[in-house]
């Protein structure tokens, strides 16, 4: 069976699959019903859920409840009666369930960058007590830049010879044969590279970090909700991540912070605001940290953003992350297979690892005119994004992306490249692309 969009461009090799086969895969998809949990504009294929997750169906109603009932009618009483004050811990439990954190280990609060500052500070304090000669924070050169910037800000604040040292992904993947010297106090790693989609093995890498005498902090921005994460099982020390990508919490929804039970109360973190105080309403004149993970809270949280984020998290209460991961890999396998089969006559390169164990939930390809190509694609209602240099990113979010979506995307790419549809002025104007 063929459809009009099944037609091959001149010189294309035969496809390994056709669109009808993709539709059949969608029909058999056990996660298919979850598509109804999200509202996407008609005619849109949304492959940017790795940057901003789609809107859950229940988000608007939840916002109305918070505004009309909790804020409007409950007013100040809602801090207690509507449970506002407990939202960071309540949502934290839900995130913990998704990333293998365990009970009482996670709070949802603030931003990923700020939470990284908190855990990296605490980790440095722990090491200052246990191994005071260690003053290097190691992180990926290709880490999301904000993580590096925050660590730069921290070491400047700390002084005392603290420094940030950057390592290549190959060094990390090889278990740190060179970089993990006895100067290293803390290693901060993003679990899945934001540009390439490369996934690092959390358990193996953490073991290598511990063997080298350092603490392991993981940034889960591109893995929480995207694949199976087992923080406790991997022996990780601390972790941070956002809720607005694969967890579909809404634009800029609050981040999370996780600290292992063993380290949770060893030191407090420097952003020691009243929400992290043992008795916040006693108005004591000096800080005493809360006993558990609540000490990683700081100030009053944006309740509207937080409440709507819960709607996104609740979808994960109805899915098995093993199913999510299986579909994610099937989607990215299909994407790569189609790129190989149908775009090989163009200067396109797949930069996402082909090995499952090293692949997150996105496919990134490069093209010398990547920006214009992505712009042309977006004009057709297929939304991915672009990252310097030359990288077109396609997030594959199994809750609302299907196999036919992948087929249609690669087919649109082929037409845009074959017909040089990107090569018009309108697709070359660069604004601030997020």
Residues annotated within a binding site: 112-113, 144-147, 190, 219, 222, 244, 274, 300
How far out from the chain centre does Cα 204 lie?
20
Report the site for its own copies in 90-129 (rule: CB under 8 A).
110-114, 117, 121
By C-beta, is 5 or 157 nearer to its own copies? 157
Among 39, 103, 211, 424, binds its own copies (CB under 8 A): 39
Contacting range for its own copies; rule: CB under 8 A; set: 22-30, 199-207, 272-280, 414-422 = 272-280
Binding of its own copies at residue 37 (CB under 8 A)? Answer: no
By C-beta, is 343 or 383 nearer to its own copies? 383
By C-beta, is 66 or 231 nearer to its own copies? 66
Nearest to 239 by CA among 225, 223, 222, 259: 259
CB of 387 to its own copies, least distance (A): 7
Contact string 374-413 vs its own copies (x = CB under 8 A) = ----x----x-x-xx-------------------------
Q: What is the enclosing helix (H) or strand (E) of 330? A: helix 321-342
Binding of its own copies at residue 9 (CB under 8 A)? Answer: no
If phi > 0 it is left, if psi is from -120 to 50 it is alpha, else beta; for residue 405 that is: alpha
What's the rounded Cα separation, in Å, for the pair 277 and 296?
9
What's the burial of 24, exposed, middle or buried (CB within 10 Å: 0-12/13-18/19+)? middle
Binding of its own copies at residue 170 (CB under 8 A)? Answer: no
By C-beta, is 189 or 321 nearer to its own copies? 189
What's the rounded Cα separation, in Å, for the pair 260 and 235?
8
Binding of its own copies at residue 55 (CB under 8 A)? Answer: yes
Catalytic residue among 29, 110, 219, 237: 219
Report the site for its own copies in 137-166 (rule: CB under 8 A).
141, 144-146, 148-150, 152-154, 156-160, 166
By C-beta, is 54 or 412 nearer to its own copies? 54
- Indicate the annotated binding residues for pyridoxal 5'-phosphate: 112-113, 144-147, 190, 219, 222, 244, 274, 300
Binding of its own copies at residue 327 (CB under 8 A)? Answer: no
By C-beta, is 2 or 300 nearer to its own copies? 300
Binding of its own copies at residue 168 (CB under 8 A)? Answer: no
Contacts of residue 315, defined as CB under 8 A and 6 or more positions apart, other chains included, come to 34, 37, 56, 248, 399
359 tagged catalytic: no
Contacts of residue 393, defined as CB under 8 A and 6 or more positions apart, other chains included, come to 48, 50, 51, 195, 197, 362, 363, 364, 384, 385, 386, 387
Contacting range for its own copies; rule: CB under 8 A; set: 225-233, 262-270, 318-326, 400-408 = 262-270
How far out from the chain centre does Cα 205 lie?
19
Contacting range for its own copies; rule: CB under 8 A; set: 19-27, 33-41, 95-103, 181-189 = 33-41
Binding of its own copies at residue 21 (CB under 8 A)? Answer: no
By C-beta, is 178 or 434 nearer to its own copies? 434
Contacts of residue 305, defined as CB under 8 A and 6 or more positions apart, other chains included, come to 249, 250, 252, 253, 254
Binding of its own copies at residue 364 (CB under 8 A)? Answer: no
244 tagged catalytic: yes
What backbone phi and psi angles, to 5 degrees, belong to 197?
Answer: 80, 10
Is the distance from CB of 99 to CB of 258 less than 8 angstroms?
A: yes
Nearest to 304 by CA among 99, 72, 106, 77: 72
Catalytic residue among 245, 342, 387, 414: 245
Q: Which two tokens stand for residue 259?
A: 């600290």
Through-space distance between the first and last CA atoms of the chain, rounded to whole angstroms: 40
CB of 88 to its own copies, least distance (A): 10
What's the rounded Cα separation, in Å, for the pair 273 and 406?
46
Contact string 73-92 vs its own copies (x = CB under 8 A) = x-xxxxxx---xx-------
245 tagged catalytic: yes
DSSP 232: T
What's the rounded Cα separation, in Å, for the pair 256 and 22?
36
Pairing label, strands 349-350, 256-259: unpaired
Report the site for its own copies in 200-259 (rule: CB under 8 A).
242, 244, 250-255
Q: Which two tokens stand for residue 230?
A: 């087992």
Binding of its own copies at residue 177 (CB under 8 A)? Answer: no
Among 30, 132, 161, 273, binds its own copies (CB under 8 A): 273
CB of 209 to its own copies, least distance (A): 22
Active-site residues, by number, are 144, 219, 244-245, 393
């Amino acid at each position: 069976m063929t459809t009009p969009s099944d037609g091959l461009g001149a010189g294309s090799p035969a496809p390994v699959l056709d669109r009808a086969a993709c539709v059949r895969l969608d029909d058999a998809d056990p996660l298919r019903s979850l598509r109804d949990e999200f509202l996407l504009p008609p005619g849109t294929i949304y492959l940017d859920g790795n940057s901003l997750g789609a809107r859950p169906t229940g988000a608007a109603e939840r916002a109305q409840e918070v505004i009309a009932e909790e804020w409007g009618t409950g007013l100040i009483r809602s801090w207690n009666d509507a449970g506002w004050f407990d939202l960071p811990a309540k949502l934290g439990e839900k995130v913990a369930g998704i990333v293998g954190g365990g009970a009482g280990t996670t709070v949802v609060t603030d931003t990923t960058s700020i939470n990284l500052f908190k855990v990296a500070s605490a980790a440095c304090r722990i090491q200052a007590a246990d191994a005071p000669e260690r003053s290097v924070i190691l992180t990926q050169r290709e880490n999301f830049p904000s993580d590096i910037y925050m660590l730069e800000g921290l070491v400047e604040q700390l002084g005392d010879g603290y420094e940030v040292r950057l390592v290549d992904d190959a060094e990390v993947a090889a278990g740190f044969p060179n970089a993990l010297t006895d100067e290293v106090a803390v290693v901060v790693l993003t679990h899945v590279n934001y540009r390439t989609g490369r996934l690092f093995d959390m358990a193996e890498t953490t073991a290598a970090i511990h063997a080298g005498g350092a603490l392991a902090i993981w940034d889960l921005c591109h893995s929480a909700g995207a694949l199976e994460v087992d923080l406790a099982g991997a022996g990780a020390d601390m972790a941070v991540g956002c809720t607005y990508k694969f967890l579909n919490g809404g634009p800029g929804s609050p981040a999370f912070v996780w600290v292992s039970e063993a380290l949770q109360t060893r030191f407090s973190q420097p952003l020691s605001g009243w929400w992290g105080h043992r008795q916040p309403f006693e108005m004591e004149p000096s800080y005493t940290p809360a006993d558990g993970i609540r000490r990683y809270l700081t100030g009053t949280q944006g309740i509207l953003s937080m409440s709507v984020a819960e709607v996104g998290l609740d979808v994960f209460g109805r899915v098995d992350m093993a199913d999510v991961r299986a579909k994610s890999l099937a989607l990215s396998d299909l994407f790569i297979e189609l790129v190989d089969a149908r775009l090989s006559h163009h200067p396109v390169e797949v930069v996402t690892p082909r090995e499952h164990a090293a692949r997150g939930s996105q496919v990134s390809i490069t093209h010398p005119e990547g920006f214009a190509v992505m712009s042309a694609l977006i004009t057709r209602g297929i939304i991915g994004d672009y990252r310097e240099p030359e990288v077109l990113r396609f997030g594959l979010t199994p809750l609302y992306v299907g196999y036919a979506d992948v087929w249609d995307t690669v087919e649109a790419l082929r037409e845009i490249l074959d017909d040089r549809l990107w090569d018009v002025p309108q697709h070359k104007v660069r604004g601030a692309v997020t």
